[in-house]
Amino acid sequence: MGQFSMTISAGAGSVLNDNQQLVYILRLSHTRKRAKLLLNSGIEALNDGFVMFDGDDRLILCNRKYQEIYELPEEVLRPGTPYSSVFGAWFAKQDPAPAETEVSNWINTRRAKSVVGEKLDMDHRLADGRVIKTSNHPLQDGGIVGLRVDVTELTRAKLAAEAASKAKSDFMGVLSHELRTPLTVIMGVAKLSENARLLRSSKALLTAYEEGDVPSEKAKAMLEDIFAQLSGLQQRMVQSGEHLEHLINELLDVAKIESGRLVIEPTICNIKDIVDPVFQQLSTLSRKKGLDFEVVQEAETVFADNMRVRQILINLVGNAIKFTDSGFVRLCIKQHDDMVRFEVCDTGEGISETEFESIFDVFYQVDSTATRRAGGTGMGLAISRSLAELQGGALTVSSTIGKGSCFVLTLPATRTRSEQPEALSELCAEQS
């Protein structure tokens, strides 16, 4: 055995004896162990994945979070495992498994970047949908230190915010078009009425008068013609005004719902009083499109806000007529246990299953392009669902592309216990 011959100086020229040297070395080793332990526990405590490879691309260490993110087996995470094996173990679990060239391309790119001291950041999309932000930083000795951050929630929130922002800008385009159309009609009719003598019927009367050809019967008929033309124009103006009023009311409803200020006043209502005006308002439109519009009423009363249920049904039936070119639109009202079901079914273009939730998002339209076939703003269904929920009900859809859609509004048949006066007085009694 060789003699231990190193001498250690304690400074200022004094040299330590063998015992003192041993104590010094032990203390040094203890300090190193403590530092290593501290470093390891710090790395373990990280909320993100941490990994380190040496200059030969062999694993030095990684923390538990790194193992969890990639769901790697213990044996590939032993110090000394080549990077290609660690990465390969994770890649092998991907479905579908990536091509071998893809694997070797990634390994080579990563190494090439670290050789020239370039860091490499990218997002990994895992097979189960998680998104991991990976950052690899080259070290001076040729090694690589990496951080893995799970940014799934952040990415989802970002995508949702982008979609909401797109929906809002699409909506601004749609809304300005929807507002401009009736406004153009109103302005046009107002200008025509201002110059009533330019109307075809007025011109005819004036010409006849100038030619001295106005026997009283003919003059009366010509005046009637003027009145009829003016009344037709006024009707168009009123319809456009009502359309504008409807749009503005929808905007106000969205604002009230978003700020939680929308007040619902439910009472026991006669369903016939709700449904009859819906039929009166929309049967002409359905007839014009050549559709059968049928109402089948098998329930008598519902506990709801009369005006708000009518608003929902007008939106649902209006949509059904708008998106149906042939066949029928049917409104069936039935009672199931303690709920009343209003089913609005059509034989229209249908809605893809991927859109079943989005169509209830405010401003969302399956087609919001300038060339879309049907008008509308994408507010109706969002308002309708909120109104249904505020009344203790729900609004859902089922549909098949090319076959038709069925929207189901459910509302309580009777006053629920929490809304009964005795339940309120019990609550007051409990609180006093």
From the list 83-91, 164-172, 182-190, 375-383, the region that binds ligand ADP by CB under 6 A is: 375-383
Nearer to ligand ADP, 66 or 364 (CB): 364
Residue 366 sits in the site that holds ligand ADP (CB under 6 A) = yes
From the list 75-83, 133-141, 149-157, 380-388, the region that binds ligand ADP by CB under 6 A is: 380-388
Residue 405 sits in the site that holds ligand ADP (CB under 6 A) = yes
Name, in order, each residue with C-beta under 8 angstroms of 199's C-beta and a sequence gap of 6 or more.
Answer: 192, 226, 229, 230
Nearer to ligand ADP, 146 or 378 (CB): 378
Name, in order, each residue with C-beta under 8 angstroms of 36's C-beta and a sequence gap of 6 or more.
Answer: none
The three-state secondary structure class of 123 is strand
Q: Nearest distance from residue 280's CB to ligand ADP, in Å? A: 20
Residue 378 sits in the site that holds ligand ADP (CB under 6 A) = yes
Residue nearest to ligand ADP (CB): 376
Which phi and psi angles does 96 have, rounded to 5°?
-75, 150
The three-state secondary structure class of 140 is coil
Q: Nearest distance from residue 319's CB to ligand ADP, in Å? A: 3
Site for ligand ADP in 262-321 (CB under 6 A): 315, 319-320
Residue 66 sits in the site that holds ligand ADP (CB under 6 A) = no
Residue 149 is encoded by which pair of tokens?
């951050």
Residue 381 sits in the site that holds ligand ADP (CB under 6 A) = yes
Residue 380 sits in the site that holds ligand ADP (CB under 6 A) = yes
Q: Are 383 and 315 in contact (CB under 8 A)?
A: yes
From the list 4-12, 54-62, 95-103, 358-366, the region that binds ligand ADP by CB under 6 A is: 358-366
Q: Nearest distance from residue 240's CB to ligand ADP, in Å? A: 17
From the list 51-59, 86-94, 299-307, 359-367, the region that binds ligand ADP by CB under 6 A is: 359-367
Q: Nearest distance from residue 341's CB to ligand ADP, in Å? A: 17
Q: Nearest distance from residue 339's CB to ligand ADP, in Å? A: 22
Q: Are 226 and 353 in contact (CB under 8 A)?
A: no
Nearer to ligand ADP, 70 or 323 (CB): 323
Burial class (CB in 10 A: 0-12, 13-18, 19+), 359: buried
Cα 202 to Cα 190, 216, 228, 317: the distances in Å are: 16, 16, 11, 41
Q: Are 167 and 361 in contact (CB under 8 A)?
A: yes
Four-residue CA torsion sign, 422, 423, 425, 430: positive
How far from the centroid of its chain's Cα atoms is residue 320's Cα? 23
Q: Nearest distance from residue 383's CB to ligand ADP, in Å? A: 8
The three-state secondary structure class of 263 is coil
Count of positions on this chain that bind ligand ADP (CB under 6 A): 19
Whose structure tokens read 């070797």? 104
DSSP state of 98: P
Beta bridge partners of 293: 329
From the list 78-86, 99-107, 207-215, 370-378, the region that binds ligand ADP by CB under 6 A is: 370-378
* Of the residues 62, 144, 317, 359, which one makes contact with ligand ADP according to CB under 6 A: 359
Residue 410 sits in the site that holds ligand ADP (CB under 6 A) = no
Residue type, 149: V
Residue 185 is encoded by which pair of tokens?
């009609």
Residue 377 sits in the site that holds ligand ADP (CB under 6 A) = yes
Site for ligand ADP in 310-349 (CB under 6 A): 315, 319-320, 323, 346, 348-349
Q: Nearest distance from residue 375's CB to ligand ADP, in Å? A: 7
Name, in order, each residue with C-beta under 8 angstroms of 117's C-beta and a sequence gap of 6 or more.
Answer: 138
DSSP assignment string, 153-197: HHHHHHHHHHHHHHHHHHHHHHHHHHHHHHHHHHHHHHHHHHTGG
Nearer to ligand ADP, 105 or 400 (CB): 400
* Of the residues 81, 286, 347, 365, which one makes contact with ligand ADP according to CB under 6 A: 365
Beta bridge partners of 407: 344, 397
Q: Nearest distance from residue 397's CB to ligand ADP, in Å? A: 8
Residues that bind ligand ADP (CB under 6 A): 315, 319-320, 323, 346, 348-349, 351, 359, 365-366, 376-382, 405
